[in-house]
Amino acid sequence: MKRKSKRVFQMAAVAAGMAVILTAAFAMAADYPRKAVTVVVPWPAGSATGIVGQKIVNIIQQNKFFPQAMQIVYKPGASGTIGLAEVLQGKPDGYTIGYNPSAPILVQPLVKELPYTSQTLTPIIQTMQFPWLLVVKAEAPWKTIQEFLDYCKKHPGEVTVGTAGDYTWGHLALLQMTQATGIKFRHVPFQGAAPNVTALLGGHVQASLVVTGDVSAQISAGKVRFIACVETVRSAFAPDTPTFKELGYDVKGTMHTHIVVLPKGAAPDVIEILHEAFKKAIDTNDYKEFMKQVGGDPGYISHKDLPAAIAAAVKEATRLLEGVGTKIRKVQ
């Protein structure tokens, strides 16, 4: 009798030991995230990216879509490249991620020497996109885009169009307009959206390329109006504004979006977990309401489809910039 119970005891001990080891093994594999994650936003806190990033992280925290804490750190500078470079030069362990607009990822590496390119990162998810629209003051004499384009044809190189800066998506949208219509505009780059809109309101430029969020207050007050959309589909915020594509011009549209990134070489389960957390956040009603406030369209693209989308956008940007004689760096 004693020997049998001792046997049973030994078997139980071995079984328990195996169970512990197996559980530990599973725990090791699924032990991301073990601590808080830092989300780096390479723009100032009050910027559009800053506010949206803050909102999403807030939603994730409130609904516990992510098992650990997420905190935002703002690292503005050099049009978003400094903060992004820091993230992408770190470890791909998933504890430091970047939330950025697409320009520093897609466009800047083409024209500046940077320690990263669109190929040396792991995209997780695209959360939002901003369509680009051409606006004019309410009192402007052109009621339709056709009138505007006819006027521009008669005065080539004279009509001033403001954008938020060189090598921003607004600038690329203007280049698309130029290439598609064959008309020369006079590009006036400003430092950001606010001076762009101010200049338009003050009559210092005759038209501006903006995203809806830049002018929503002015639109509701009736001070400016949308005249065309430089995309392939109409914007939800300007359903009556025709797109250039509809009018018969061949434009590919822009890709002004927010993308979450990790350095290259992240583990698949890290990517999955992060992707799930952000996806759940952008599916909430809270987020959808908020998007309407800031003028963004839904623009979800998963990590599986993002590399192709990014490559296509880079190709288009290269084509546009080379078309005006800019030297493009090779993106390996």
Partner 1 sequence: MGIIENLMIGFGQALSPVNLLFAFLGVTLGSLVGVLPGIGPLGAMSLLLCTTFGMSPTHSLILFAGIYYGSMYGGSTTSILLNLPGESTSVVTCIDGYKMTQKGRAGAALFIAAAGSFGAGTVSVLGLMLFAPPLAELALKFGPPEYFCLTTVGLMVLPYISSGSKVKSGLMVLLGVMVSTIGMDPVTGDQRFTFGILALSQGIDFIPMAMGLFGIAEVLNVLSQKSETGKVHSVRLREMLPTREEIRRSVGPIIRGSVIGFFIGLIPGPAAVVASFTSYAMEKRLSKHPEEFGHGAVEGVAGPESANNAAAGGAFLPLIALGIPFAPPMALVLAALLIGRILPGPTFIEDHPQMFWTFIGSMYIGNVMLLLLNLPLVGLFVSVLRTPIRILIPVVAILCLTGVYAVNSSSIDVWVLVLSGVGGFILRNRGYDLAPLVLAVVLGPKVELYFRQSLFMSAGSLAIFVERSISLAILLIPVVVLAATVALHFTRKSRAGEFKKPRK
What are the residues binding partner 1 (CB under 8 A)? 44-47, 50-51, 54-55, 58, 72, 74-75, 77-79, 81-82, 85, 108, 111-115, 157-158, 160, 165-167, 186-191, 194-195, 197-199, 201-205, 216-218, 220-221, 223, 293-294
Structure tokens at 183: 């008309």
Order the strands of the 297-302 sheet from edge to edge: 70-74, 37-41, 96-101, 257-263, 121-129, 297-302
- CB closer to partner 1 out of 100 and 218: 218
- CB closer to partner 1 out of 15 and 45: 45
State the minimum distance, in angstroms, from the CB of residue 55 to partner 1. Answer: 7
Residue whose entry in the numeric block shows the structure tokens 């309407």: 292
CA distance linking residue 50 with residue 66, whole number of Å: 20
CA distance linking residue 215 with residue 221, whole number of Å: 10
State the minimum distance, in angstroms, from the CB of residue 201 to partner 1. Answer: 5
- CB closer to partner 1 out of 110 and 251: 110
Q: How far, CA to CA in Å, does 226 sit from each of 99, 131, 270?
A: 29, 12, 42
CA distance linking residue 136 with residue 197, whole number of Å: 10
State the minimum distance, in angstroms, from the CB of residue 44 to partner 1. Answer: 7
- CB closer to partner 1 out of 141 and 156: 156
State the minimum distance, in angstroms, from the CB of residue 186 to partner 1. Answer: 6
**How many CB atoms lie under 10 A from the CB of residue 31?**
10
Do strands 70-74 and 121-129 pair parallel, antiparallel, or not at all (unpaired)?
unpaired
- CB closer to partner 1 out of 152 and 271: 152
State the minimum distance, in angstroms, from the CB of residue 65 to partner 1. Answer: 16
Give the 3-state DSSP-derived string for 131-171, with helices as H, strands as E and coil as C: CEEEEEECCCCCCCHHHHHHHHHHCCCCCEEEECCCCCHHH
- CB closer to partner 1 out of 178 and 243: 178
State the minimum distance, in angstroms, from the CB of residue 148 to partner 1. Answer: 18
State the minimum distance, in angstroms, from the CB of residue 268 to partner 1. Answer: 31
Contact criterion met (CB below 8 Å) for 294 and 143: no
Phi, psi of 20 (to 5 degrees): -60, -45
CA distance linking residue 59 with residue 111, whole number of Å: 36
Contact criterion met (CB below 8 Å) for 309 and 300: no
- CB closer to partner 1 out of 54 and 179: 54
State the minimum distance, in angstroms, from the CB of residue 274 to partner 1. Answer: 20
- CB closer to partner 1 out of 56 and 274: 56
State the minimum distance, in angstroms, from the CB of residue 198 to partner 1. Answer: 5
Q: Cα 153–156–162 angle (5° rounding)?
A: 105
- CB closer to partner 1 out of 222 and 268: 222
CA distance linking residue 293 with residue 213, whole number of Å: 8
